[in-house]
Amino acid sequence: MSEALYYKTIGELNGLMDSGEISSVELMQSVVDRTQSVEERVCAFNSFDAEGALAQAAESDKRRAAGETRGPLDGIPVGIKDVLAVKDQPLTCSSKILADFISPYDATCIQNLKQAGAILWGRLNMDEFAMGSSTENSSTKTTSNPWNLDCVPGGSSGGSAAAVAAGEAIVSLGSDTGGSIRQPASHCGIVGLKPTYGRVSRYGLAAFASSLDQVGPMGRNVADVAHLLQAISGHDRRDSTSFKIDVPDFAAAIESFPGKQWTFGLPKEYFENAESAASLKAVEEAIEFYKGLGCAFKEISLPHTEYAVATYYIVATAEASSNLARYDGIRYTRRAESFDGKDSVDIYHQSRAEGFGEEVKRRVILGTYVLSSGYYDAYYLKAQKARTLIRQDFENAFAEVDAILAPTSPNPAFKKGALTEDPLSMYLSDIYTISANLAGIPGMSLPCGYSDGLPVGLQILGKPFHETDLLSIGHTFEAAHEYSREHPDL
Amino acid sequence: MSDTPHIDIEKVANLARIALTEEEKATFSSQLDSILGYIDKLNELDTSNVEPTAHPHSVENVWRDDQAESELPTSEALKNAPKERQNMVVVPKVVE
């Protein structure tokens, strides 16, 4: 295999490091060099510390030499979305209001990665506070899609997806509130998995919408994603919504597809009006692949699909308006220089006016409105009830099928600037991903082809806490195709 | 959709503690009205006998032992304060 180190799989890299052919320092240096050569075009990172990463790699090499290596992630560079707290590193959420913030502690998933020996590598760009579908709502820079630099990488975890696709990280962490892992993974031709709500601790994840947010892994192949998911999963007493449930062996589970008679559901609401969706052809070819393996298919109905976007934009903005109240210019954010000295509340008004970007202001105002006196029942309570109906749609479907197959996004990556003036159209492009967050179920996007040279993702939705199903279904497709070995021409 | 704006933008911006420019007020009013017009779709649903969902998998009564633990030292917790003195956050005078 002649592939560069920065495009190898975690399995291959472990083989090379175990046999002494390469060191983690050499691997890290390869990723640093690659980043320095392509980052000017891709713009995936808000910041990185090459020296610090190389020092972590040297520690990993020492452990390996002493026979104390900590598992498959030891010595592997993992890119971190700039929404997760890493002690003594910046945490900006790509927002001006947090431009000077240095994390005083580690998120639980970061502690877990440190225990696994992973190299924490860089802070990856995102839509400000994870609000967006294109990473254009970042106050720091606009990330490019490595497959076509004129296009967006998707969002909100656009930096996490672009860095992995471009070889600037081996794997990365993202967060997914309405599709923010799966949609950019789809647009950048990589694998992205949103775990079941409660599978991964949210402690140390800057909150957007607490009942929807979930941290998850992104990588160039299913096995890499399984390794990363393994390291971050599990109950955490610091997150009361994390679930006390056993964590299976995800890496082993990817081989468990054969020997089971699978039944897959195709939601008619996702396919019936999708003729114009450019992603459809590649997704239908993937469906044919599974039919060829003898899997059963059933048309299912998720009758409340058409209400999902409306429900989501009430629940998510309401929770965001509450969560983002903490960014007040008083305790730990940038404080506006000028405010009405007679009115201390004006510090809030001015600091938030200066510190928040347009989309964040829009959503905080919408969320404040739907929670305000006289509107709570009409909007927020109504949306919570609609959420129940959407959740029940999936419960009914999963009584009949093992998993649901669908496109991740109606279309591949769009041109930069194409939707920035029209927030509602941008919101509607999340139609296939947001229901999984409302229902709390796991979902994965897997590369399944191209449309006009841009990657297309197949989305696999599973039963709660059945991430193993998604991984094994995805791995079977991946192993029969070359997509995980195809990289953008940079 | 009716012709009257849904949102009293001045009032809501004040509740949200965000000072908006006149231009932002105009843009957000019209964009939020079109988003709210779309959201009104939910009124088609009969939810009279539906329980609301606050969390996807409800976890009830999560207890822990009531034991004090040493978490962040004060100096660390205040490291990011815009103004800090003697282990306190400095704010302008709020009482006359």
With a cut of 70, say whether residue B18 has pLDDT above it. Answer: yes
Mean pLDDT of all residues belonging to chain B: 88
Helix axes A24-42, A10-18, angle to 10 degrees: 150
A95: nearest Cα among A287, A355, A277, A323: A355
**Catalytic residue among A95, A144, A156, A321, which?**
A156
**Catalytic residue among A23, A30, A60, A81, which?**
A81
Q: How far is CA A402 from the centre of its chain?
A: 23
Q: Any chain A CB within 8 A of the CB of B2?
A: no
A308: nearest Cα among A463, A486, A178: A178
Instruction: Indicate yes or no: CB of A102 within 8 angstroms of CB of B81.
Output: no
- The interface pTM score, or ipTM, of the predicted complex is 0.93
CA pair distance B13, B27, nearest whole angstrom = 13
Instruction: Indicate yes or no: CB of B19 within 8 angstroms of CB of A197.
Output: no
Give the domain ranges of chain A: 5-258+470-485
With a cut of 70, say whether residue A204 has pLDDT above it. Answer: yes
pTM over 0.90: yes
**Best residue of B12, B24, B40 to probe chain A, by most A CBs closer than 10 Å:** B12
With a cut of 70, say whether residue B4 has pLDDT above it. Answer: no
Of A102, A341, A368, the CB nearest to B80: A102
CA pair distance A281, A350, nearest whole angstrom = 49
Q: Any chain A CB within 8 A of the CB of B85?
A: no
**Which residues on neighbouring strands pair with residue B85, listed in sequence order?**
B88
Say what the pLDDT of residue B96 is: 62
User: What is the band of A2 on the pLDDT scale with cuts at 50, 70, 90?
Assistant: low
Instruction: Indicate yes or no: CB of B91 within 8 angstroms of CB of A309.
Output: no
Is there a cis peptide before residue A156, judged by omega within 30 degrees of 0? yes
Min Cα separation A269/chain B (Å):
17
- A5-258+470-485 adopts what CATH topology? Amidase signature (AS) enzymes (3.90.1300)
Strands of the sheet containing A191-194, edge to edge, are A45-47, A119-124, A77-81, A171-176, A214-219, A191-194, A443-451, A454-462, A403-407, A263-267, A296-300
Surface of B (6-45) touching A: CB under 8 A: 7, 9, 12-20, 24, 28, 31-32, 34-36, 38-39, 41-45
Q: How many CB pairs under 8 A join A and B?
A: 161
DSSP 8-class letter at A5: G
Residue range A69-78: mean pLDDT, rounded: 98
Say what the pLDDT of residue B3 is: 47
Give the domain ranges of chain B: 9-44
CA pair distance A33, A285, nearest whole angstrom = 37
CB-based burial label for A68 (10 Å; 0-12, 13-18, 19+): exposed
A359: nearest Cα among A156, A166, A171: A156
**Best residue of A129, A242, A354, A365 to probe chain B, by most B CBs closer than 10 Å:** A365
User: What kind of architecture, by CATH, is found in domain B9-44?
Assistant: Orthogonal Bundle (1.10)
CA pair distance A37, A211, nearest whole angstrom = 40
Mean pLDDT of all residues belonging to chain A: 96
Instruction: Indicate yes or no: CB of B17 within 8 angstroms of CB of A348.
Output: yes
**Best residue of A105, A368, A370 to probe chain B, by most B CBs closer than 10 Å:** A368
A183: nearest Cα among A209, A207, A216, A206: A216
